[in-house]
């Protein structure tokens, strides 16, 4: 890994085969331009953190990658192949799993049914996939028949992650998994994200909790009103005093 402390416009660390590539991505909601030309790369096997304050465009970025939004300009490439413009229900077959902001589990379905929904793209539900999720999250196993709407916030987050894993994603998009959770639960969830990554899933992690996210990630990008303000190896971002002051102060635990 590069040891340079100098912040580069393009990210620092070695990017092997780029699994995901965003090039000049512009996305708008009507007249409001939320992304003003973003370049971002996620290499296979990496954990990349996407940071930034409220309204910076983090969620918009993830929603564009998973096909919920169509870019006005620029491209999204997965293993070099253009995927922008493909609808989200087809994109799941390309190996993209998305854990949306605010968890959004199916409240009136049981834990098991939520996980089965995650495997919707397959003919049937593979019990090995189910077991994998229950092993990662034993609390879900205990509550498999409980309605998802009655789970605690932390359990719902686990379910949302488990549900995304059921589609066997190569690339997992996580949108603020720590939102509204107690520090202990956040820690548990971050440990599990690392475990998922070690099992071979590439992760693009959106977080406000910058210190923790950079502790987990190899590289990071900081968004500021729709543009990449800084990017680089996680250690460099953590060490840079300007970044600490501007972005990490509020997010630090």
Ligand X SMILES: Nc1ncnc2c1ncn2[C@@H]1O[C@H](COP(=O)(O)OP(=O)(O)OP(=O)(O)O)[C@@H](O)[C@H]1O
Q: Which residues bind ligand X (CB under 6 A)?
A: 29, 32, 34, 52, 54-60, 101, 208
CB of 62 to ligand X, least distance (A): 8
Q: Does 112 bind other proteins (CB under 8 A)?
A: no
Query: Which among other proteins, ligand X, Mg ion, none contacts residue 88 (Cβ within 5 to 8 A by kind)?
Result: other proteins
Query: Which among ligand X, other proteins, Mg ion, none contacts residue 149 (Cβ within 5 to 8 A by kind)?
Result: other proteins
Q: Does 59 bind Mg ion (CB under 5 A)?
A: yes
* Residue of 57, 118, 232, 233 interacting with other proteins (CB under 8 A): 118
- 119: CB partners within 8 A, 6+ apart: 125, 126, 129, 166, 167
CB of 99 to other proteins, least distance (A): 9
Q: 59 or 197: whose CB is closer to Mg ion?
A: 59
Q: Closest Cα partner for 105 from 159, 144, 66?
A: 159
CB of 67 to other proteins, least distance (A): 8
Residue matched to tokens 């509550």: 143
Q: Does 106 bind other proteins (CB under 8 A)?
A: yes
- 244: CB partners within 8 A, 6+ apart: 238
Cβ–Cβ < 8 Å for 73, 28: no
Sign of torsion, CA 237 242 181 34?
A: negative
| Of 102-110, 136-144, 185-193, 224-232: span binding other proteins (CB under 8 A) | 102-110
Q: What b/e readout covers 2-28, taking b as 16+ CB neighbours within 10 angstroms?
A: eeeeebeeebbbebeebbbbbbebbbb
Q: Are strands 47-52 and 219-224 parallel, antiparallel or unpaired?
A: parallel
Q: 82 or 121: whose CB is closer to other proteins?
A: 121
* Residue 23: half-sphere exposure toward Cβ, Cα within 13 Å: 11
Query: Which among Mg ion, ligand X, other proteins, none contacts residue 100 (Cβ within 5 to 8 A by kind)?
Result: other proteins
Q: 44 or 101: whose CB is closer to Mg ion?
A: 101
- 163: CB partners within 8 A, 6+ apart: 99, 105, 114, 115, 117, 118
* Residue of 8, 72, 82, 121 interacting with other proteins (CB under 8 A): 121
d(CA 222, CA 97): 22
CB of 193 to ligand X, least distance (A): 18
Question: Applying CB under 5 A, which residues contact Mg ion?
Answer: 59, 101
């Amino acid at each position: 890994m590069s040891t340079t402390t100098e912040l580069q416009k393009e990210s620092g660390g070695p990017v092997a085969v780029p699994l995901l590539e965003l090039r000049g991505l512009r996305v708008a909601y009507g007249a409001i331009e939320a992304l003003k030309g973003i370049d971002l790369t996620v290499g296979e096997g990496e954990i990349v953190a996407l940071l930034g304050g409220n309204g910076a465009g983090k969620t918009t970025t993830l929603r564009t990658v998973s096909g919920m939004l169509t870019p006005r300009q620029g491209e999204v490439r997965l293993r070099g192949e253009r995927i922008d413009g493909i609808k989200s229900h087809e994109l799941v077959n390309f190996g993209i799993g998305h854990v949306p902001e605010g968890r959004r589990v199916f409240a009136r379905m049981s834990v098991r049914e939520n996980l089965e929904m995650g495997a919707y793209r397959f003919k049937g539900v593979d019990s090995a996939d189910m077991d994998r999720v229950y092993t990662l999250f034993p609390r879900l196993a205990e509550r498999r028949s409980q309605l998802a709407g009655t789970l605690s916030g932390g359990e719902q987050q686990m379910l949302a992650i488990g549900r995304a894993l059921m589609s066997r994603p190569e690339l997992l998009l996580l949108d603020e998994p720590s939102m509204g959770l107690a520090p202990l639960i956040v820690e548990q969830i971050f440990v599990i994200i690392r475990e998922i990554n070690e099992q071979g899933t590439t992760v693009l992690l959106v977080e406000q909790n910058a210190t923790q996210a950079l502790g987990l990630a190899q590289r990071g990008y900081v968004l500021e009103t729709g543009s990449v303000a800084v990017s680089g190896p996680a250690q460099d971002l953590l060490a840079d005093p300007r970044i600490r002051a501007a972005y990490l102060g509020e997010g630090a635990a």
